[in-house]
Structure 1
Amino acid sequence: MGRRPFKNMGSSASLVKEFKVNNGGYNTYEQFISAVRDAKIECARFVVAVDFSRSNISRGQKDPKRGANLHSSKDIYGNTVPNDYRYALERLIEVIRLLDSETEIKFLTFGMKKKLTTEQIPVEDLVQHYDVMVTEFLSRIEANAEAESSTIAPVIYETIKDAVKNRDYQILVILTDGDLTDIGRDAQAIIDASNFSISIIAIGIGIGPFTCYSEFDNVLFQRRFDNFNFINLSELLRARERANEPPMSAKDFARIILSECPAQYRDIRELNIAQ
């Protein structure tokens, strides 16, 4: 697959001297695009990973507005409820189309007993592939097939392999339902990823907890640069509902989810990590 120019975005030290946490935030999409241009982000490859660990059931059941699996679009009474995984994937399709002239992404699923799954798919098939995995997830649970605990390390190391192979800027988007069970392993994976041209974005689905993701976002000072950003999407969406704000547009989603990418890519360039 060829390089992917961001068609609507335009166009050294060896160690970190002082670690700084990025807190990029933009009030408008235009401000975000201006920051992308200033950072000289010209191309990227998107990697999307979805959490299918068993905790999606237990945490969904604890949600008073749902009471059911986070991968379901129905509550325990059969009423239609928002599926924030599906919502995030639908918005990501719009964002990638908005920013990227190519049409393929890498789609990963993790958390089930079987090995990490990886597929190169057309971006428009993202939700369809997700729906297929939901059906498989539910059938495995019903058959008492155990799902593994949450760990994002395999997803990160898979993306590192791609960064080495392709020598392109990678944007890894992880959709997950809550805290991890092997924090040391996952922290080390994030630290290792800071040696490569990778931005990691974790998107929180459901009520969490997301304590370790917030800590990853603001600490891990062994990293060469602040390569990790966490967004609690479900809380953000509920807050917009409470404030009677309009639905989030693709441009809103892009400037929020990708808010730290410009600063991260500047760090990548300054550290001579890029390509």
Structure 2
Amino acid sequence: MGINGSKRNNVNSYNKQLEEYIFPENYSPHRAGSDFAVIPDSFISLDEVTDSLREHGFESSNLIVGIDFTKSNEWTGETSFHRRCLHDLRDSPNPYEQALSIIGKTLPEYDEDNLIPCFGFGDESTHDQTVFGFNHDNVACHGFANVLQRYREIVPNVDLAGPTSFAPIIETAIEIVENTGGCYHILFIIADGQVTRSVDTEPGVLSRQEKETIDAIVKASEYALSIVVVGVGDGPWNTMKQFDDGIPQRLFDNFQFVNFTEIMNNPVNLSRKEADFALAALMEIPFQYHATIELQLLGLQI
């Protein structure tokens, strides 16, 4: 068998393992207490999203932000960021700053108190075990201008590391939802790529970080929490797309992936790109919010 055939078999084996973990043998989509269904991307404008939110009784939410400080940021800007580290603060705004700015411009009406808990993960101090707060004692940032200010102050002092796992930031968001009496939150994770697969991970086997991330996403579906992963840099994003439309162990489809790089490369003007990004980020929120009501998760303290 040629090298390409061998690689293809490894990829197929890995995809099968991911599918079996996401879709376990004993899983039944009609099991008691679960009516999981993938949420389709149904809107073509922000106004439609806003109208749908109103129809579902949506009044307000709270935002949480998680930023990826793993070492892969040093090379995943090879194509999309002129071979620079994605956290490079020189010259023009980097992709993280761009994404934060657009979220701050287009989504403030979806945040109730303008207090935004912000965290970093994947650096030398946290690795794949925990997160660090942007402020002392994890005090929330006051608006996105403050988020950007703290980001620029933090970046020069952060040592990029790894491995990459979304589990710690998702677990942190779950704690915040619990501590606020089950208030609805949207977690934005801005990241540069896949959850880590180390070189010693067997072909066709999920890494510990992948399993922990999947388990955290499933656990998060028991809370009034939506997860939006914003992909910056070159990717790849195949696992994120599988997370988006798979994992039926969840009580509801609580995960949305948005390819920021792809949207920003579209041949349209900047305001259209910003609107397209906001639309993609909020596309599933009306249905997710409605699901938290139907499942009686809103206001639930576990």
Please indicate the TM-score interval, normalised by the length of the shorter structure: 0.7 to 0.9
Measured in 1, the distance between the counterparts of 2:233 and 2:156 equals: 19
Measured in 2, the distance between the counterparts of 1:94 and 1:55 equals: 28
**The one of 170, 173, 187 aligned to 1:156:** 170
Counterparts of residues 112-261 of structure 1 (less than 5 Å)? 112-115=123-126, 116-118=131-133, 119=138, 120-123=140-143, 124-137=145-158, 140=159, 147-166=161-180, 167-181=182-196, 182-239=209-266, 243-248=267-272, 251-261=275-285
Work out which of the two has the higher radius of gyration on C-alpha atoms and give 1 or 2. Answer: 2
Percent identical among aligned pairs is: 27
Asked if structure 2 preserves the Cα contact closer than 8 Å seen for 1:183 and 1:212, the reply is: no
Residue number in structure 1 paired with 2:290 = 266
Measured in 2, the distance between the counterparts of 1:30 and 1:67 equals: 37
Measured in 1, the distance between the counterparts of 2:34 and 2:80 equals: 45
CA spacing shift, 1:157–1:64, aligned 2, 3 Å:
closer
CA RMSD in angstroms comes to 2.0
The letter of the residue matching 1:71 is H
Q: 1:117: Cα distance to partner?
A: 1.0
Q: 1:100: Cα distance to partner?
A: 3.5
The letter of the residue matching 1:257 is A
CA spacing shift, 1:20–1:33, aligned 2, 3 Å:
same
Q: 1:43: Cα distance to partner?
A: 2.1
Measured in 2, the distance between the counterparts of 1:14 and 1:38 equals: 28
The letter of the residue matching 1:27 is I
CA spacing shift, 1:169–1:55, aligned 2, 3 Å:
same
Asked if structure 2 preserves the Cα contact closer than 8 Å seen for 1:16 and 1:271, the reply is: no
The letter of the residue matching 2:188 is V
Secondary structure of 1:59 counterpart: coil
Residue number in structure 2 paired with 1:39 = 56
C-alpha deviations, 1:84-126, integer Å up to 9, x for none? 1101111122234344352211111111021311231111201
Unaligned runs of 5+ in 1: 1-12, 75-79, 142-146
Q: 1:255: Cα distance to partner?
A: 2.4
Residue number in structure 1 paired with 2:11 = none
Asked if structure 1 preserves the Cα contact closer than 8 Å seen for 2:70 and 2:164, the reply is: yes
Measured in 2, the distance between the counterparts of 1:64 and 1:151 equals: 23
Secondary structure of 2:236 counterpart: coil
Provide TM-score, normalisation by structure 2: 0.76
1:23 aligns with 2:40: yes
1:67 aligns with 2:83: yes
Number of aligned positions between the proteins: 246
After TM superposition, what 4+ stretches of structure 1 lie above 6 angstroms from structure 2?
none
The letter of the residue matching 2:190 is L
Residue number in structure 2 paired with 1:100 = 111
Secondary structure of 1:266 counterpart: helix
Q: 1:64: Cα distance to partner?
A: 6.5
The letter of the residue matching 1:214 is K
Unaligned runs of 5+ in 2: 1-30, 197-208
Provide TM-score, normalisation by structure 1: 0.83
